Structure 1
């Protein structure tokens, strides 16, 4: 059985980080983060699920932009929050 590609990959665009220095909301609120995730639809930078506020997941849920990539050097993967899987 052949796996079908994630349909949310159609939402991926060439983007630049809107806040390359950190999580957009955490920078505004003064809260800490663990790792950063880049929304591959609009360039929003949010904190990961290991961070206290989980802003990347919140952004995905509120905007229907489900695919993110890590902002850590050397990491090259994509995650779909809808399917809870690598894409």
Structure 2
């Protein structure tokens, strides 16, 4: 299973109403076809209710932590929203 698929599967545990996982590896040095090192995550979930932005990020990082070993995910840009914040985006 690809790193992207593993990341999506883990983020699904937050029951997102919207989820995008975008492989941005091609825009970074050392890229080769199939490389999975840089991702952008856009996630909208009620699970973030009552959490500050840093706590939302920590929640996402906790799900991806073992995928961020050397040679795997190098960078993870996180955009985490509540459904009410996502409306109008």
TM over 0.5: no
- Which structure has more RCO (C-alpha within 8 Å, separation ≥ 6)? 2
Bigger Rg over Cα: 2
Give the number of the structure whose residues are more often strand, by fraction. 2
Report the TM-score, using the length of structure 1 for normalisation: 0.26
The two structures have a TM-score, normalised by structure 2, of 0.26
